[in-house]
Structure 1
């Protein structure tokens, strides 16, 4: 039996997870080739104090800031079969997650299969039968030498935290201060004593605002979410969204008020960008926040040997990647038979329409949150592998509750998993 050849794009958490599972099935799969644009593993967890571009002109991928700590405990973040060092606190600085991923890579002997490249461009070739589609991956190394290889399947694991979403704000050129996206924020000290408007109040917006007031910045947290009711640190006030910049450089808010500021910091999320793929050729519509159709948020119905790992948002990431990868492996080894292209497209349309009918905004169609648990259980059931243990959901939801009550202190707690169904707090 011919071993299937699989390419993996990206050596972050999702790509390492894909490579680990491919390498574990030596009777069905050849060792993978993992394509990575940098000389490190870890993807978004690789902290780089620089911003902008590398000396070779490529954009700097990392969106990590210096003092970031995880907003999920390690007991929830871990790959189910690879725990973090038990001596560590539950909430970790980013360098500990990076160290964990390096250890995961070393433990599963993934390193020898990673190639440092500066461009990867899959080219689809098919003979009219879906099952015989192959993928030609053309890569060039740092010296410019090109190489083309053919694969049976491709896992796209390049993440979605490196291409900032910049909202259109009328009159933005009139703003006289500094405008930056959280992608380019590294630490708070340069903003000490300044007036900062932070646009966006999700995880990064709230965390960065708290960092800024600790160095004496005066922060306006501008957002369109329901008003935050838990206590915010002194120095943070809330406002409606910024909607325009006046001719004199002042910011105008949705409620009609205006205010001057030294800095406008955009915590407005990230866009899907796959410069190495031709979305139209693949039957995909790739927008800033939504990519469709993707059957089970994983594969384009027209090319079911191409898999996107980790595009779902508001999930428990590493466990989610682990489930997605195992389902895709089951598709590739024949354990799971996918519906026809038409049936998959119809199911995607039905699911997205159902979300829209519930009032979910179009740009939030990939957000899972509470839906992630049924989603992961469904993939596990279809793929015939073990589901996530109930303790993952239980602890995740407890931490989510604590974040809403104690946004500055919830990371002081530590936890321990007692069993697959029970956790306990240690302090």
Structure 2
């Protein structure tokens, strides 16, 4: 069986940031990417997706995004950037290398892929969440005559022209998709609480300037809840205007689906052709189940990305892992530096060298 210093599971932005940090510390990683290219989930996002952060704030360590720093890069630009980043890494990236499980062998880990086994002293779980969309239970879904899909499977508004669409969710993706669908369809946003908007531009500068300049991106999650308190939607004003003008409707979450209708919380009924679930994702870590690293809800047991169950196992790209920016292009590099330092000490057997 082949042995490596560290197996990085996932070749998207988190896995590439991990590989960069590992090489900076003289370790030899192998990146295992399930798809055919090292771009993570970005190729699978909907066609119109753009970053919410300007290019100057959206780079991984060691490679500027390039071009006009004030623009908001399109999905395809991000794919191109990540591909260039992967090409510049001094690390082996194996595509079509889906990881099925990870086990402990006492001295380290054994990674089982579709093609065989790989021994590793350390593991970086950087597989993201796109492959594990959250699908809430909807009473009456089985008998619903229309289409129900998660936003992970949505690409563009054209197939829904002239239809009655209900989008479930109150975050950035829900609002952005609802806004573009409203160009061709009748759309209602169904949310449990009113939508909270956060201005994209303040005093002539993008929000991300202030997040960096003030140090907001360094605030820990257990402090953030006191400031943020829930989901926010970044807006230049057009989304809020669309709601206030009636171009886009918002109603409290419906209680059930029935035939070709949704039943709203006030008991009224309305026909619906399509329900789009913009309800988020959960970490895609099922390959760690046998290892015993996950809790009863299949969430990782960790502190800041460091496993609480297995020395030598770290995580990257978890939402609010260490900060507001943890699962973003601008924040994952900082988290990588944080988790790779102790991982490097583990791989180099620092405790044994100290006589422990």
Partner of residue 123, structure 1: 103
2:94 aligns with: 114
268, 278, 283: which one pairs with 1:272?
Answer: 283
TM-superposed deviation, 1:181: 1.0
Matched, 1:231 2:199: no
Q: CA deviation at 1:81?
A: 3.5
Moved >4 Å (runs of 4+): none
List alignment gaps of at least 5 residues for structure 1: 47-61, 127-132, 336-427
Unpaired segments ≥5 residues, structure 2: 198-239, 347-356
Instruction: Find out whether 1:166 has 2:135 as its counterpart.
Output: yes
Alignment partner, residue 101 of structure 1: 82
Higher relative contact order at CA 8 Å, sep ≥6: structure 1 or structure 2? 2
Equivalences for 1:176-255 in 2 at 5 Å?
Answer: 176-215=145-184, 217-227=185-195, 230-232=240-242, 234-246=246-258, 248-255=259-266
Q: What is the Cα deviation at residue 315 of structure 1?
A: 2.4
C-alpha displacement of 1:183: 0.9
Indicate the residue corresponding to 2:11 in structure 1.
11
The answer to whether the 8 Å contact 1:156/1:306 transfers is yes
CA RMSD of superposed structures (Å): 2.3
| Alpha-carbon distance in 2 for matches of 1:24, 1:228 | 41
Deviations 1:358-380 (A, max 9, x none): xxxxxxxxxxxxxxxxxxxxxxx
Quickly say closer, same or farther: Cα 1:118–1:79, change in 2 above 3 A: closer
Structure holding more strand per residue: 2
Q: For residue 170 of structure 1, report the CA deviation from its aligned partner.
A: 1.1
Change (3 A) 1:242 1:325: same
Residues 283 and 92 (structure 1 numbering): CA distance in 2 closer, same or farther, change over 3 Å?
closer
**Deviation of residue 286 (structure 1)?**
5.2
Pairing partner for 1:156 from 105, 114, 125: 125
Alignment partner of 1:222: what SS?
strand
What's the CA shift string for 1:53-96, capped at 9, x where partnerless?
Answer: xxxxxxxxx3x011111122112221254211133652011010
The Cα shift of 1:285 comes to 0.5
* Alignment match, 2:294: 284
In structure 2, the partner of 1:390 is none
8 Å Cα contact 2:17-2:61 kept in structure 1: no
Partners of 2:300 and 2:127 in 1: how far apart? 17
Number of residue-to-residue matches in the alignment = 296
Find the aligned partners of 2:330 and 2:69 in 1 and give their Cα distance. Answer: 19
1:295 aligns with 2:295: no
Contact 1:11 1:42 in 2 (8 A): yes
Change (3 A) 1:9 1:228: closer
Distance 1:115 1:90, change over 3 A: same
Residue 139 of structure 1: aligned partner: 113
Separation in structure 1 between the aligned mates of residue 179 and residue 296 of structure 2, nearest angstrom = 34
User: Deviation at 1:292?
Assistant: 4.7
The secondary structure found in structure 2 opposite 1:70 is coil
Contact 1:272/1:287 (<8 A) preserved? no
Query: Counterpart of 1:42?
Result: 39
Contact preservation (8 Å) 1:284, 1:300: no
